[in-house]
Amino acid sequence: MPSHIYDTILIGAGGMGSATAYHLAKSDADVLVLEQFQRGHTYGSSHGETRIIRFFYDKPFYTELMKTAYAEWRNLEAESGKQLLFITGSVSLGESGNRYVSDVRKSLDAAGVESEWWGVDQFVKQFPQFRVSNDMDILWQKDTGFLYASECVLTHLKLAEQYGSEIRENTLVTDVDLQTEVPTVYTENGKFRGRKIVITAGAWTTTLLTEINLPLTVTKQQVCYYKPTESIQFQPDHFPVFTEITTEGEFIYGMPYFGANGAKVARHGMGDSVSPDTCNRTPEKDYINRIDSYVRNRIPELGKTVYSEVCLYTETPDEDFIIDQHPECPNLLIAAGFSGHGFKFCSLVGRIMSELALSGETEFDISPFRIDRY
């Protein structure tokens, strides 16, 4: 039996795990991070250059939490000296009377976050890249933007190491024993003991927690990238983040031209259920054709897809997170089921998980994320 006992062992070093490691280490905890792949890998949910950050939600508790999430990202920028959050503003689109856009406006109003209804003329004057009809609801929100996602993960991990965290890459966890006096984590390279275990393993969560049957479904998702000839009009200072509920019920989103891959457009959700270990990560042509068709009608100057990549969602039935302790072991904490909209919350979830590991409680209302709601 190894003699050293860590304060906390983290399993998974993606968006949530890296942020949790940072907050714990900054609080002087003795932290071990176990990652089955290399940091920044492309097999899960945290890779890629951009993720939307936004206040607007149709569920008010997310809008409230985002107030702190924004602040935590700015704190990370200040400490690291890197720009990680880029503000572009956003437009939420839907056919006239769309319930989702209406609920978003209500949530923003309730949280005291400014937004504006725009008419079509005002919208196309501000953003002539779009083609829209006269029977659309258009909601503008000035604080929306995107995060430099891959760099956020690496920055959290680098700072965690500077504060003393030990990070072991290419270390696959094979079992977690909660029956011992001190919880023990078994890997292919040895075993480790920790007073607290935090699972931030994304699509591999249920592999580690078979005994509690969490309602998590891993789905294959895809994103498309565009490199228009006139790229300047799609740069972050000329083009907004956008979302649209289509008449077919799809949730389409997009972001400006950023980094090596270009502007991004994708459909949220509706992916096939897969195993993270056997998923075919080859992009599907039918999906690319569907997104290209949308782009051709809505933003024709973007052109056609030049590159597409696959990522994974780990979804709950209600698309709300799981942030809780193991129902049979309070020394094991779980952050999972972020359902394709969690990355913007990494900075805050890392803080919440750190507080739970250190004191058993958090100042934030996480009641919507409890396991016992299922």
Active-site residue numbers?
47, 50-51, 264, 268, 311, 344
| Partners of 338 in beta bridges | none
Sign of dihedral through CA atoms 273, 221, 338, 177? positive
- Give dist(CA 268, CA 90) in Å, integer: 16
- Give dist(CA 146, CA 255) in Å, integer: 8
Please say whether the beta carbons of 295 and 265 come within 8 A.
Answer: yes
Amino acid identity, position 192: F
**Counting beta carbons within 10 angstroms of the beta carbon of residue 286, is it exposed (0 to 12), middle (13 to 18) or buried (19 or more)?**
exposed
Alpha carbon of 285 to those of 14, 193, 288: distances in Å?
28, 46, 5
Please say whether the beta carbons of 358 and 27 come within 8 A.
Answer: yes
- Give dist(CA 171, CA 186) in Å, integer: 10
Across the chain, the runs of DSSP E, i.e. the strands, are: 5-11, 31-34, 50-53, 85-87, 90-95, 116-118, 136-141, 145-148, 166-168, 173-177, 184-187, 190-199, 217-226, 241-245, 251-258, 262-268, 307-315, 322-326, 329-336
b/e 99-135 (16+ beta carbons within 10 angstroms → b):
ebbeebbebbeebebebeebeeeebeeebebbebeee
Which of the 8 DSSP states describes residue 4? Answer: -
User: How many other CB atoms are there within 10 angstroms of residue 360's CB atom?
Assistant: 12
- Whole-angstrom distance between the N-terminal and C-terminal Cα of the chain? 37
Integer Rg of the chain from CA: 21
